[in-house]
Amino acid sequence: PPSNKSAIPLTIFLFSTLTHSPQVTEAEPNLSPTMPWQWLLQDGFFFSLAFFLPLLILVVLGRCLPRDPKREKLRLPPSPPKLPFLGNLHQLSSLPHRSLRDLARKHGPLMLLHLGQVPTLVVSSAEAAREVMKSRDLAFATRPWSKPADTLTYGSRNVAFAPYGDYWRQAKKVAVVHLFNPKKVQSFRRVREEEVALMVDKIAAACSSLPAPVDLDEVFYSFSNGLVSRIVVGSCSDRDERTKLFRELIDEATALISGFRLDDLFPSLAWLVALPGMDSRLKKLFKKWDGLLTRSWRSTCGEKKTQTGAQRAVTSWTFSPQFTGIPPRISPS
């Protein structure tokens, strides 16, 4: 049954107000019968009643109304105390992995953090990670939506950012069978060998010139970036210029996709990001990215005129998700 404790302060307030009588001075000997009501109006009695009575009704109704049994059974993971609007952002330092480690020691391998207005599940143990990524992988298969990723991939149409569904399964199947098959991977052997040799030379030069540690993260990132850019650009006449542009665009796209955006953590403030001029950097990057892919597409199609239908489809698949979002149909050779 609902508790009447919330009604006690209002009852005491009403009782003390009604039983209190105003002091009558000698200057006002004659009181009209309407004087008590005028006093009540002057002291704001009805204003207080109009303010507190709806609150009392809401409290009583909130305790009397039946609750959803499913919601009663829903048990969320433990969560550290949060601040209004900011959530748990104040508990993350400049080294977030250490902050998450310390929080996991207090709240367990599965904990719920509120990054701004976005609830986020943090998994910190091998057993929990296996449960999430293997046993319940379908529930966590779709990436969170991001405007930079959605814009640069033509509406989240590539395999990396497409939501889980029929299109993603079809795209993955075509990519695995026709783009990442052993024969196709072997065709890029020379490019891989050249990029590996270049990476080793950079490490050797860095170790011989200055006795300073080598940033392997930067070295491997440069290696993978150079490898992908050479495969995408191909052997065109202005390959060096395109490869350099491709690397610059990839660096900028990575910074935009992985960087902080106000609407990612505070969806209610998305209207601020939508103001004119706020996404000018993203629009400029998309224009350059689209132009580079268009030139690479035309160059690749011109070089592959002598191939069979299946080979042309495989080559087209490198670019077609960014342009149409529809995997090519593989025709028999």
| pTM for the predicted model, two decimal places | 0.61
Residues 288 and 210 in one domain: yes
Please tell me whether residue 113 adopts helix, strand or coil conformation.
strand
Contact 119, 112 (CB under 8 A): yes
Which amino acid is residue 206, in one-letter code? Answer: A
Q: Does 331 reside within a domain?
A: no
Distances (CA, A) of 63 to 58, 59, 107: 9, 6, 30
Q: Which two tokens stand for residue 24?
A: 């009558």
54-82 tens-digit pLDDT: 767 766 766 666 665 655 567 889 999 99
Decide which of 292 and 100 is more confident: 100
Number of domains in the chain: 3
- pLDDT at residue 297 is higher than 90: no
Q: Does 241 reside within a domain?
A: yes
Residues 166 and 274 in one domain: yes
Q: Does 82 reside within a domain?
A: no
Note the pLDDT of residue 28. 47
Q: Does 199 reside within a domain?
A: yes
Residues 196 and 114 in one domain: no
Note the pLDDT of residue 59. 66
Residues 294 and 186 in one domain: yes
Residues 184 and 315 in one domain: yes
- pLDDT at residue 143 is higher than 80: yes
Note the pLDDT of residue 278. 72
Q: Which residue is associated with the tokens 């310390």?
A: 102
Q: For the chain, what is the mean pLDDT?
A: 75
Q: Does 78 reside within a domain?
A: no
Domain, as residue range, for 31: 5-73
123-138 tens-digit pLDDT: 999 999 999 989 888 8
Note the pLDDT of residue 160. 85
Residues 183 and 67 in one domain: no
Domain termination residue (choose one: 102, 117, 140): 140
Q: Are strands 110-115 and 118-123 parallel, antiparallel or unpaired?
A: antiparallel
| Dihedral pair phi/psi, residue 212, rounded to 5° | -125, 155
Residues 176 and 64 in one domain: no
- pLDDT at residue 102 is higher than 90: yes
229-261 tens-digit pLDDT: 787 776 555 666 777 888 888 889 988 888 888
End-to-end CA distance of the chain: 77
Residues 257 and 194 in one domain: yes
- What is the mean predicted confidence (pLDDT) over 267-285? 83
Note the pLDDT of residue 33. 47
Note the pLDDT of residue 31. 44
Residues 182 and 312 in one domain: yes
Contact 17, 47 (CB under 8 A): no
Distances (CA, A) of 122 to 79, 100, 127, 328: 10, 8, 13, 38
Residues 191 and 307 in one domain: yes
Note the pLDDT of residue 304. 53
> Cα separation of 21 and 164, whole Å?
72
Q: Does 80 reside within a domain?
A: no
Q: Does 84 reside within a domain?
A: no
Size of the chain, expressed as the number of residues it contains: 333
Residues 107 and 156 in one domain: no
- What is the mean predicted confidence (pLDDT) over 9-16? 39
- pLDDT at residue 18 is higher than 50: no
In sequence order, the 6+-apart residues with CB closer than 8 A to the CB of 64 are: 2
Residues 154 and 118 in one domain: no
Contact 206, 192 (CB under 8 A): no
